[in-house]
Amino acid sequence: MLPYIFRRILQFIPTFLLATLLAFFIVQLAPGDFLSQLKENPSVRPETVERLRKEFGLDQPIIVQYFYWLKNFVMGNLGQSFQYKRPVNEVLPGPFMNSLILVIIGTVLHFAVSIPVGVYSAVRPYSTADKTFTFLSYIFLGIPSFFFALLVIWGMLKLQQNFGWDMPLGNKTSSKLPTDISWWRSAWDVFIHALAPTIILVLRGISSESRFIRGQLLEVLGQDYVRTARAKGVAENQVVYKHALRTALIPTIAGLGGLLPALIGGAGFIEVVFNWPGLTPLQLTALGNQDIYILQAVTAVATLLYLVGNLLSDVLLSVIDPRIRYH
């Protein structure tokens, strides 16, 4: 297993280089740069603009700028943010951790709900509960998440007006929170603020995943070795959870690699709607200002998450499926 992991890590390098190089070229091919708006300001002298262009390295060819960024990235330096006038190493951690909060809670909810619902629907197919889950799944899959988010906000505002239910609808923390509260009280406040956007974020994923697990488990439960286990008198719970479920979850585990970047990407519009200070608002601001080093940092993070997620999927597959061995 260790030699395989080492080879996969080596394979990360060309993928990472290609993804970051492509992103760098796309951003740089846009007309103008961060200093273009200064040219239109009559109070700023052209010599000042040229001095700043040299200071930020914008006078160099694109490929030279990329390798300059790559060299600094390897050394742990993500560059200087144009708009914030601060190192990206200082700007990025806050929004990244805020997005990670949504992703962690969303990942836990995704599997904690979709697996039990899928198993229950497969064990009791075409029951009232199964039909109800199917109906709700089609509704959540059919409604765009941003529209559903607006419906939730409207409903929560109505609850606040009519019943006084004070459920946070935006930001990461309460503005009236005392500064001397305990850490668990502060963590609970963040969790309450993250709950609504996280639920909306994972509803579509839970709906599709639970239907997929149901179909996979129904197929496995109809195979010969499952019927043989039942004929031998093996308890039904053991047949379902020990023999059938492990096989049915193999495709789900295989898709785990794309879950982390998918959740971060999917959290984008949710962060905007709920005013959550995550990566997407930072990225949109950087895109409007052509702050290439922040955009490159976000691209690098997303690429690394995807690569690590794929490696994690392979490792988990070897654990859950004894037929798979990596050398």
Helix (H) or strand (E) holding 6: helix 2-28
Q: How far is it, in rounded angstroms, from Cα 57 to Cα 72?
A: 13
Q: What is the C-alpha R_g of the chain?
A: 25
pLDDT in tens, 17-55: 999 999 888 888 877 666 776 676 677 777 777 777 777
Give the amino acid at 195. L
As beta bridge partners, residue 80 has 87
Please tell me the pTM assigned to this model. Answer: 0.79
As beta bridge partners, residue 87 has 80
pLDDT in tens, 74-89: 888 888 887 888 889 9
pLDDT of 99 above 70: yes
Q: How far is it, in rounded angstroms, from Cα 57 to Cα 68?
A: 9
pLDDT in tens, 213-272: 999 999 988 888 888 888 888 888 888 888 888 888 888 877 776 666 666 666 777 888
- For residue 145, the model assigns a pLDDT of 77
pLDDT in tens, 287-296: 888 888 898 8
Q: How far is it, in rounded angstroms, from Cα 282 to Cα 304?
A: 19
Q: How far is it, in rounded angstroms, from Cα 230 to Cα 103?
A: 39
User: Collapsing DSSP states into helix, strand and coil, what is residue 68?
Assistant: helix
User: Collapsing DSSP states into helix, strand and coil, what is residue 87?
Assistant: strand
User: Quick one: pLDDT band at residue 177, thresholds 50, 70, 90?
Assistant: low
Give the distance between the most distant pair of CA atoms in the chain: 88
Answer with the residue of higher pLDDT: 304 or 258: 304
* Domain 93-281+315-320, architecture per CATH: Orthogonal Bundle (1.10)
Q: Could you tell me the residue ranges of all domains in the chain?
A: 2-89, 93-281+315-320
Q: How far is it, in rounded angstroms, from Cα 73 to Cα 87?
A: 12
To the nearest 10°, report the CA torsion of 275, 281, 285, 287: -150
Q: Please, which residues have CB within 8 angstroms of residue 17's CB and are 6 or more apart in sequence?
A: 70
SS (H, E, C) 104-155: HHHHHHHHHHHHHHHHHHHHCCCCHHHHHHHHHHHHHHHCCHHHHHHHHHHH
Q: How far is it, in rounded angstroms, from Cα 26 to Cα 131?
A: 47
pLDDT of 178 above 70: no
Q: How far is it, in rounded angstroms, from Cα 237 to Cα 146?
A: 39
Q: How far is it, in rounded angstroms, from Cα 215 to Cα 118?
A: 8
Give the residue-averaged pLDDT of 268-295: 84
Q: If you average pLDDT over every residue of the chain, what do you get?
A: 82
pLDDT of 322 above 80: no
> Cβ atoms within 10 A of the Cβ of 270, count?
23
**C-alpha count within 13 angstroms, C-beta hemisphere, residue 198:** 21
pLDDT of 131 above 90: yes
pLDDT of 135 above 90: yes
pLDDT of 128 above 90: yes
